[in-house]
């Protein structure tokens, strides 16, 4: 499910933890939210025009909405539980103080939960990909469908980057801090 190596042109793995955290929180999440809004608009429009003619479209829309709901809950957990804990463990390190080791117990639980959520959403997005026939517009579709599938491709790429940044870079770096000696 998760990428093994860095397929991206940016060397994210060289970034410090606070940069990764800020990038995921500010840039990456904003991109996912904006793309989600655009997809929902297109889906609503397409369903209002073509919905009764394509039963797969309703299933597609339901799966996408479930995925978005899951991702929004995931991002809320990041915002309320994960990112504040990361900042709590980074700050003492920056001022050369001992870190509170109990925070790592909390953060490891949160990381496990976030990983599980990402796995669920990855599976759901695979179902969406199957439904949309490898990003091919449904038969008899209009240009709105083509725009929708372009947006879905962007969404999938943003999601994959989100998973890569968290699961392959940020989570392991945060956990490794537990074993760092100051």
Domain housing 148: 16-177
How many domains, the chain?
1
Helices 101-131 and 55-77 cross at an angle (nearest 10°) of 170
Residue 145: the pLDDT is 76
Q: Is residue 137 part of a domain?
A: yes
Of 39, 2, 18, 27, the C-alpha closest to 149 is 39
Q: Is residue 139 part of a domain?
A: yes
Chain position carrying tokens 């790592």: 104
In the DSSP assignment, the letter for residue 98 is -
pLDDT above 50 for 89: yes
Q: What is the pTM of this model?
A: 0.81
Q: Is residue 74 part of a domain?
A: yes
Tens of pLDDT, residues 168-181? 999 999 998 887 74
Task: Tell me the average pLDDT across 18-36.
Answer: 90
Query: Do residues 152 and 105 lie in contact, with contact meaning Cβ atoms separated by under 8 Å?
Result: no
In the DSSP assignment, the letter for residue 121 is H
Tens of pLDDT, residues 94-131? 666 776 778 888 999 999 999 999 999 888 888 887 77
pLDDT above 70 for 65: yes
Query: Do residues 43 and 64 lie in contact, with contact meaning Cβ atoms separated by under 8 Å?
Result: yes
């Amino acid at each position: 499910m998760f990428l093994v190596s860095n397929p991206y042109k940016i060397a994210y793995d060289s970034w410090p933890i606070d940069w990764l955290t800020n990038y995921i929180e500010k840039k990456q999440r904003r991109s996912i939210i904006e793309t989600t809004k655009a997809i929902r608009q297109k889906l609503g429009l397409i369903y209002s025009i073509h919905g009764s003619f394509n039963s797969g479209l309703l299933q597609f829309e339901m799966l996408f909405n479930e995925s978005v709901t899951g991702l929004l809950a995931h991002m809320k957990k990041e915002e309320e539980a994960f990112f504040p804990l990361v900042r709590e463990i980074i700050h003492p390190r920056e001022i050369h103080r001992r870190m509170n080791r109990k925070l790592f117990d909390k953060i490891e639980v949160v990381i496990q939960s976030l990983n599980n959520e990402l796995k669920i959403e990855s599976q759901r997005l695979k179902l969406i990909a199957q439904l949309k026939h490898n990003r091919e517009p449904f038969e008899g579709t209009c240009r709105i469908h083509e725009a929708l599938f372009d947006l879905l491709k962007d969404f999938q790429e943003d999601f994959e980057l989100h998973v890569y940044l968290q699961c392959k870079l940020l989570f392991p770096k945060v956990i490794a801090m537990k074993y760092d000696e100051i």
